């Protein structure tokens, strides 16, 4: 889950990282109001969950509150990389002397978080990484020891940060690490961290990505999720506790178990088809869950067939069958459905489904072949 700039910066501030004064606005009038409050020059910043807003024209300076209102109106009417701008952050403008990059992410190869810093921060950091990677300094962080003070000093030294900033830089680095750790983030980034005209260090931009699998222990952070930018089907799926990822193929997959769901996708591809989604309905597939899953799968116009692959384990085959029957009754799908049901009480389950107009399959390979045949226009028997 990605956080907006204003959300990330609010978290950073709690960890002692200096940020500009400012607030978020949803209308030009609000933006004007905030600019009046702040007094002086402001920067109006689109809040969309993509990088490169500056280059796209989504970050603009305004000298007066009147100008802030105008600029906010223009930015709020924009779409950046396909995402509509619904909010702007109005911050007091900073005079920039130097733009520094500072970020923490997980280095999977090293099995450790890594802090990265560069004096060549700002909007071109990707270019820097590509063309002059030696300008990016890295320090791995031992998750048990945390970021050590000598490490942030070493980074400050290696990026040639003037010595009078080392103390505050150390405090910012420590704050960023603590925020990363406490929020179960997979990315915490300040780009740019600037040296201002008044020779102060300030985080002008902020970005955090949180680990979805840890959100259960961060209810306050989970509430920050911006539903505007997610596929509606994925939002709906989360509401029912389904693990769902939309894909581009034509065979809908209804499967219990993540491993089985991946196997199902693989075997569909093996027989020349393309899965329309990844879906794990999880254990205890109640009719409510199955119905929700079926609705979600069928809301995709590309879906020409649905493959049910169910292994009756802890959730028995007859329970799943009952769930499917209730779901079919509710959703009334118009596309052919193929089912492979094995495991505990599979026979009972299949008997219950006998009148459900589903195409039954003995094996997973058989089910995949039949599904592929349907979407390719050949009849399945």
Residues that bind Mn ion (CB under 5 A): 191, 205
Cα dist from 249 to 91, 167, 271, whole Å: 44, 54, 13
Q: Least distance to Mn ion from the beta carbon of 349, Å?
A: 54
52 touches, from ligand GDP, Mn ion, none (C-beta below 5 to 8 Å by class):
ligand GDP
State how far the Cα of 222 lies from the Cα of 177, in Å rounded to an integer: 20
> Residue 18, interface with ligand GDP (CB under 6 A)?
no
280 touches, from Mn ion, ligand GDP, none (C-beta below 5 to 8 Å by class):
none
Helices (H), the chain: 5-14, 28-38, 65-76, 125-131, 149-158, 166-182, 219-222, 232-239, 258-270, 287-298, 317-331, 346-353, 364-375
> Residue 93, interface with ligand GDP (CB under 6 A)?
yes
Nearer to Mn ion, 136 or 353 (CB): 136
- Is 319 annotated in the active site? no
Distance of alpha carbon 66 from the chain centroid: 35
State how far the Cα of 112 lies from the Cα of 166, in Å rounded to an integer: 24
Residue 144: count of CB within 10 angstroms of its CB:
5
99 touches, from Mn ion, ligand GDP, none (C-beta below 5 to 8 Å by class):
ligand GDP
Q: Least distance to Mn ion from the beta carbon of 125, Å?
A: 8
Pairing of β 277-280 and β 337-343: unpaired
Among 5, 99, 189, 319, the one annotated catalytic: 189
- Is 127 annotated in the active site? no
> Residue 54, interface with ligand GDP (CB under 6 A)?
yes
Judged by CB under 6 A, the stretch of 45-53, 140-148, 178-186, 245-253 that binds ligand GDP is 45-53
Q: Least distance to ligand GDP from the beta carbon of 149, Å?
A: 28
> Residue 96, interface with ligand GDP (CB under 6 A)?
yes
Side by side, the strands of the sheet bearing 42-46 are 22-25, 88-92, 42-46, 59-62
State how far the Cα of 136 lies from the Cα of 156, in Å rounded to an integer: 12
Which residues pair with residue 84 across a beta bridge? 79
Among 101, 180, 240, 319, the one annotated catalytic: 101
Residue selected from 16, 18, 51, 73 as contacting ligand GDP according to rule CB under 6 A: 51
State how far the Cα of 277 lies from the Cα of 240, in Å rounded to an integer: 16
Residue selected from 43, 72, 306, 380 as contacting ligand GDP according to rule CB under 6 A: 43
User: Is 209 within 8 Å of 2 (Cβ atoms)?
Assistant: yes
> Residue 205, interface with ligand GDP (CB under 6 A)?
yes
The interface mask with ligand GDP, positions 258-287, x = CB under 6 A, is ------------------------------
> Residue 189, interface with ligand GDP (CB under 6 A)?
no
Report the number of secondary-structure helices (H) and strands (E) in the chain.
13, 19
Residue 189 host element (H or E): strand 185-196
Q: Least distance to ligand GDP from the beta carbon of 59, Å?
A: 5
Nearer to ligand GDP, 78 or 96 (CB): 96
Coil, helix or strand for 19?
A: coil
333 touches, from Mn ion, ligand GDP, none (C-beta below 5 to 8 Å by class):
none
> What is the set of active-site residues?
101, 189
Residues that bind ligand GDP (CB under 6 A): 43, 45, 51-54, 59, 93-94, 96, 99, 122-123, 191-192, 204-205
């Amino acid at each position: 889950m990605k956080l907006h700039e204003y959300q990330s910066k609010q978290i950073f501030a709690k960890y002692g990282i200096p940020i500009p004064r400012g607030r978020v606005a949803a209308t030009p009038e609000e933006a004007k109001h905030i600019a009046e409050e702040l007094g002086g020059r402001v920067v109006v910043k689109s809040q969309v969950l993509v990088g490169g807003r500056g280059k796209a024209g989504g970050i603009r300076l305004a000298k007066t509150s009147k100008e802030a209102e105008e600029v906010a109106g223009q930015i709020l009417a924009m779409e950046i990389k396909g995402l509509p701008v619904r909010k702007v952050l109005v911050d007091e403008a900073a005079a920039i002397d130097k733009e520094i990059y500072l970020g923490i992410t997980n280095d999977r190869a090293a099995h450790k978080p890594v802090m990265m810093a560069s004096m060549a921060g700002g909007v071109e950091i990707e270019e820097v990484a590509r063309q002059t990677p030696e300008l990016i300094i890295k320090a791995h962080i031992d998750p048990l020891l945390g970021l050590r003070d000598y490490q942030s000093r070493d980074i400050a030294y290696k990026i040639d940060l003037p010595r009078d900033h080392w103390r505050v830089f150390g405090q910012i680095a420590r704050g960023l690490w603590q925020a990363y750790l406490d929020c179960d983030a997979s990315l915490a980034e300040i780009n740019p961290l600037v040296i201002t005209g008044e020779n102060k260090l300030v985080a002008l931009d902020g970005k955090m990505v949180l680990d979805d699998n840890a959100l259960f222990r961060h209810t306050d952070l989970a509430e920050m999720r911006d539903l505007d930018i997610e596929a509606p089907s994925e939002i709906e799926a989360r509401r029912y506790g389904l693990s769902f990822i939309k894909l581009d193929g034509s065979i809908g997959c209804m499967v219990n178990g993540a491993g089985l769901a991946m196997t199902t996708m693989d075997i569909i591809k093996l027989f020349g088809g393309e899965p329309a989604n990844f879906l794990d309905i999880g254990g205890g597939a109640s009719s409510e869950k199955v119905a929700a899953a079926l609705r979600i799968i069928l809301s995709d116009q590309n879906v020409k067939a649905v493959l049910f692959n169910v292994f009756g384990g802890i959730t028995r085959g007859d329970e799943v069958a009952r769930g499917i029957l209730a779901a079919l009754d509710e959703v009334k799908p118009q596309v052919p459905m193929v089912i492979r049901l094995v495991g505990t009480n599979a026979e009972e389950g299949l008997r219950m489904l006998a009148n459900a107009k589903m195409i039954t399959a003995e094996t997973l390979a058989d089910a995949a072949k039949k599904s592929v045949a349907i979407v390719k226009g050949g009849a399945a028997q």
